[in-house]
Amino acid sequence: MKLYGVTGWKNAGKTGLMERLVEEITARGLSVSTIKHSHHGADVDQPGRDTYRHRQAGAREVILASSARIAIMQELRDQPEPALADLVARLSPVDLVLVEGYKREAHPKIEAFRQEAGHDLIAPKDATIHAVASDVPLDLDRPVLDLNDTAAIADFIFRELGL
């Protein structure tokens, strides 16, 4: 499976870009899965639900299955956070896996950059960032794409990955 990332600081437009890329790429007929990294103890489950109660009772992994979707919740229980490669290996085969976050991993990435967010660019110090999707013109040693031109960003990823 091909892997490409979207990275950047908080409020840089990563999630909106990911959402638009998934729509654009699936509209072109390719299958896409996503992985999102969070620095917070995210919990998709809700207190009081059966699956929540299973986890609270000590279950290491809980699968919620229905005719519409399957959700797998795994409690790390003091184990280290799995590596990105381990998470990718758990996915069903698709044409492209888009990764949001994981700044320190070695896969190729596009940095989302919004000037109003007030953060410095990551790209000048990170060779894994192959382009920057920005809402303002930038003078960089790599391509700068319009943050709002999703088709051009998808074209760039396709060229990079030979899709």
For residue 37, being part of any structural domain is answered with yes
CA–CA distance, 18 with 148 (Å, rounded to integer):
12
Tell me the mean pLDDT per 10 residues along the chain, length 163.
Answer: 95 95 97 87 76 84 86 86 92 96 93 95 96 96 97 98 94
For residue 11, being part of any structural domain is answered with yes
For residue 95, being part of any structural domain is answered with yes
CA–CA distance, 160 with 146 (Å, rounded to integer):
17
What CATH number does residue 14 fall under?
3.40.50.300
Q: How many domains does the chain have?
A: 1
- What is the domain extent for residue 34? 2-41+80-161
Query: 103 vs 73, 100, 109, 157, CA distance in Å?
Result: 24, 9, 9, 17
Q: Token digits for 128?
A: 């894994």
Give me the phi and psi of 64, to 5 degrees please: -105, 120
| Amino acid 73: pLDDT | 83
Identity of the amino acid at 27: A
